[in-house]
Structure 1
Amino acid sequence: MGSSQADVGTPVVLLVEDDDGDALLVTELLADAEITVDLRRARSVEEAEAVLAHEDVECLLLDLGLPDAAGLDALERLRTFAAERSDPPALVVLTGNADAGQGVRAVAAGADDYLVKGETDPTLLARSLRYALQRRHAVTQRRALFRSEVRAAETARLERALLPTPLVADKHVSVMVGYLPGRDGLLGGDFFDTVERADGTVLSVIGDVAGHGPDEAALGATLRTAWRTLVLTDTPSTMILPLLERVLLAERATPEVFVTICQLVVEPGRRAVDVYLAGHPAPLLITGPVGGVRCTELVPSARGRALGIPVDGGWRAQRLEVDGPFSVVLYTDGLVEAEVTPEAASVLPRQGAPRLGVAGLRRVFDEALASEFSGVVSRVLRRVRELHGGPLADDAALLSVGWTADAEIIGERSSTLADSAEWTR
């Protein structure tokens, strides 16, 4: 107690008292009390404000008769100054024998407790400080919980914004999307969207902004909006990625930020799909009729650089010829980089593989497609989380875009968010 540097876990108490005799009395009472504190002293409100500005004070012991403020004025000044801190200190006032009523008024004005100097003993002082400190701790916990709940609500709203409503008129086109937030609670920059143009061309995109946090999530939302705008204004497919890169260069916070993207262009006749890869994992292709569906991995032949990387090279399409019903599955690397628990490693194509990998994801799709195609995105996301043993370390997005090829079969439209009530059930 009274050292110049507080021990770890020892609360710092600031005594604001101009009378040396009363200050000595408080020091002696604390020495005999069953509580350990690091006692500091200020002789005026001005000195107390200087200490509060630079040190983490947990409790104020305030005399109500100071040279630069008297009575409740001193209390109000210090409460107002301390309120600017994220965790304001507790406050116990000291009054003289003739001013006990003022102590009651001080508590009504916001003090945690009051002590009458001539009636205070070590036990009473220790109890008052302990109460004030515990009350401060409880208030701090409630404040932290409130902030956490607010952040969680804001995060949930932003996550739902990452599940845009597809603008697709063709009822035979399936669009299934899903998003899994990472377990660290930080939003990532995954984004995706699907839009059908007036001529029947269907364009889809999935992207991943490097990094995690609100800046990356905001950048991802900006790029998705820019992509949708370019599509709706009939920008040629070959020009979308170059123009999107210009938006990235203008909006990113630092030159190190880059974005990987996979863009699909499904022609109006639904017989061909152009795939544009900008440093992004290649998609999976699901083909075949009900009962004979198979999932294959696309072998990329036209992979381009990620957006924002200062090297030469652009992006060209890799054409896929399709005949009959199909679905192209786009995903972000949070899925394939999911670590698999030892108990679940036997389901992977390669024994002992620490990560799911593209081959593992394809096997998960094979399992999910064995029953039916409907709801496959939700089942795959659940299965990946199960293999991982809980929420993924990184956020992950999954987008399946396809065509039923049958006038009697309507395409499925669905979205899955990991923290939704439906997912929890």
Structure 2
Amino acid sequence: MPVPIPRQRAIPAAESGQAQAESSCDGPAEQSCTDASAAAPRTPDTTGNTTDKAGNTTDKVENNTAHTNLTLLLIEDDPAGSPIVPDMLDQAGKPIRVRTARNLTEAGRLLTDDVHCILLDLALPAPGRSDADDELAVLKHVLELAPRHAVLALTASGDAERGAEAVRVGAQDYLFRDELDGRLLSRAIRYAVERKRSESAERRLAEGRLRAQENRRLERGLLPTPLLEGSPLRFAARYRPGRSRALLGGDFYDVVRTPDGTVHAMIGDVCGHGPDEAALGVELRIAWRALTLAGLCGDQLLGTLQQVLEHERADDEIFATLCTVDIAPDGRRAGLCLAGHPSPLLARPGKPARLLPYDNNGPALGLLPGARWPRMQVELGAEWSLMLYTDGLIEGHVGEGRERLGQDGMTEMVRRQIAEGLRGEQLLRAAVNEVRDLNGGELADDVAVLLLDRVP
């Protein structure tokens, strides 16, 4: 009994980029592309690469694209009779390899990853099909068996309708049995392989776009919706993640108004910029809102948040900075707690913008077990703007040197922008854009900024 050839499950040549290299040439479309089957014998190593006799190692993909003949798998019910596939040569004069299978079971064994195209006789019966009247049952079976391979349908002369239906079902093209010649078939094989590669690329692109859209909808849903109903304060925020093609980073913020009229605002930053840090930031924000609405404030709230962080973080070295502000119902004073975070900026009419005191700044969350965070009382006045921000706004470079903007540079910048009449969203947009321009391009860190305004 002959030993069956094991079927390999690797990506077929039609989809691995091999087809592109073999079907891209500068000559007319009818000409075959150059093949490099005469390369020195190579043996696979344990990494999937290949090594020639001289000891030179070649990447597997590169090896496939440059050193393999086109291979056709013919599935036809009478390969022992008169050959229906003529001899085919590539542009270099080397033959295109042809494998033959008498039935679909044998085809399954011969369908290895180096097969570029399948030529299927539609007259072949399909095993295990209850719908005997389905003229394309065998094609559907092959498409299920080889979803990533190019398929050419072979039908009787004049049966163009059946061939066109085969293309609608999933074949890349169809040919008439009695009109085959080497030139036509070699060109059809190359076209089918290229068309299949293009279809696969388009499918992967569409799937990637769909995943990106789903991720964006998810991230938008994780951004906060301020709860300020009944408050006279005006709110604005800007958010720019440091991760490319992301909507959410490790920075987080939130604003809520409790039933007693107090407005609570928070901004924080989880160290790092990846999706894990973004998820942890969302968890801390949600925990902060729940604890705030439950009546916790100041040191008690931050201590509980630290417990949440310690339980949820993936590594003991992960920490988060935090700034919380609770503004009294009359809007004239506020309590401030800092956990390793930059102090907010206060701007009032007729006075230069300044940083709130940060002498009693406590440690970042997750650094010191049993830490304490003192709550400072600050006077705001009758009319004011309070800006909370993360360190991404102040750590960008200024020009081409190593100098950073810093809190002093940011304060001077905001003073100037306020003097120019910028307020609310316009002020935040101008601040973030100018910081980016000073940096000479996009900022590496996440940036979150929120602004609360009280206008009598």
TM-score by length of 2: 0.68
Q: CA 1:21/1:206 → structure 2, altered by over 3 Å: closer, same or farther?
A: farther
> How many angstroms apart in 1 are the aligned matches of 2:444 and 2:254?
23
Q: CA 1:171/1:58 → structure 2, altered by over 3 Å: closer, same or farther?
A: farther
> How many angstroms apart in 1 are the aligned matches of 2:271 and 2:94?
48
Q: Which residue of 1 aligns with 2:244?
A: 184
Name the amino acid aligned to 1:366.
Answer: R
User: SS of the counterpart of 1:92?
Assistant: strand
Name the amino acid aligned to 1:381.
Answer: V
> How many angstroms apart in 2 are the aligned matches of 1:60 and 1:355?
62
Q: CA 1:331/1:41 → structure 2, altered by over 3 Å: closer, same or farther?
A: farther
Name the amino acid aligned to 2:390.
Answer: T
Q: Is 2:185 the partner of 1:125?
A: yes
Q: CA 1:361/1:338 → structure 2, altered by over 3 Å: closer, same or farther?
A: same
> How many angstroms apart in 1 are the aligned matches of 2:450 and 2:238?
7
Query: How far is 1:128 from its partner?
Result: 1.8
The 5 A counterparts of 1:6-405 are 7=63, 9=65, 15-17=73-75, 28-29=87-88, 31-32=89-90, 41=99, 43=101, 45-46=104-105, 55=113, 59-64=117-122, 69=127, 72-83=136-147, 88-95=148-155, 103-169=163-229, 171-182=231-242, 184-186=244-246, 187-212=248-273, 214-252=275-313, 257-268=318-329, 270=331, 272-279=333-340, 281-289=341-349, 291-296=350-355, 298-307=357-366, 309=367, 311-324=368-381, 325-340=383-398, 342=400, 352-353=401-402, 355-375=404-424, 376-402=427-453, 404=454
Unmatched tracts of structure 1, length 5 or more = 343-351, 411-425
Mapped contact 1:282–1:297 kept (Cα < 8 A): no
User: SS of the counterpart of 1:194?
Assistant: strand
Query: How far is 1:252 from its partner?
Result: 4.6
Mapped contact 1:261–1:278 kept (Cα < 8 A): yes
User: SS of the counterpart of 1:75?
Assistant: helix
User: SS of the counterpart of 2:421?
Assistant: coil
Mapped contact 1:282–1:298 kept (Cα < 8 A): no
User: SS of the counterpart of 2:225?
Assistant: coil
Q: Over aligned residue pairs, what C-alpha RMSD do you find?
A: 4.1
> How many angstroms apart in 2 are the aligned matches of 1:298 and 1:220?
25
Greater RCO (Cα-Cα under 8 Å, separation 6 or more): 1
Mapped contact 1:180–1:396 kept (Cα < 8 A): yes
User: SS of the counterpart of 2:214?
Assistant: helix
Query: How far is 1:231 from its partner?
Result: 1.0
> How many angstroms apart in 2 are the aligned matches of 1:378 and 1:104?
57
Query: How far is 1:258 from its partner?
Result: 4.0
1:8-46, CA deviations, whole angstroms, 9 ceiling, x for partnerless residues? 5469756254776799985941x3358999968574545
Mapped contact 1:293–1:369 kept (Cα < 8 A): no
Mapped contact 1:17–1:23 kept (Cα < 8 A): no
> How many angstroms apart in 2 are the aligned matches of 1:82 and 1:104?
20
> How many angstroms apart in 1 are the aligned matches of 2:110 and 2:339?
55
More helix by share: 1
Unmatched tracts of structure 2, length 5 or more = 1-34, 43-59, 130-134
> How many angstroms apart in 2 are the aligned matches of 1:145 and 1:215?
25
> How many angstroms apart in 1 are the aligned matches of 2:226 and 2:404?
31
Between 1:143-152 and 1:122-131, the stretch displaced more is 143-152
> How many angstroms apart in 2 are the aligned matches of 1:51 and 1:293?
80
Name the amino acid aligned to 2:379.
Answer: V
1:321-377, CA deviations, whole angstroms, 9 ceiling, x for partnerless residues? 2252444432233333445554xxxxxxxxx23544434433332332221251321
TM-score by length of 1: 0.73
1:92-132, CA deviations, whole angstroms, 9 ceiling, x for partnerless residues? 23457698775444223221102345533333223323332
1:55-77, CA deviations, whole angstroms, 9 ceiling, x for partnerless residues? 48664444546697597334212
Mapped contact 1:94–1:115 kept (Cα < 8 A): yes
User: SS of the counterpart of 1:262?
Assistant: strand
User: SS of the counterpart of 2:345?
Assistant: strand
Name the amino acid aligned to 1:378.
Answer: R
Mapped contact 2:152–2:174 kept (Cα < 8 A): yes
> How many angstroms apart in 1 are the aligned matches of 2:406 and 2:81?
71
User: SS of the counterpart of 1:330?
Assistant: strand
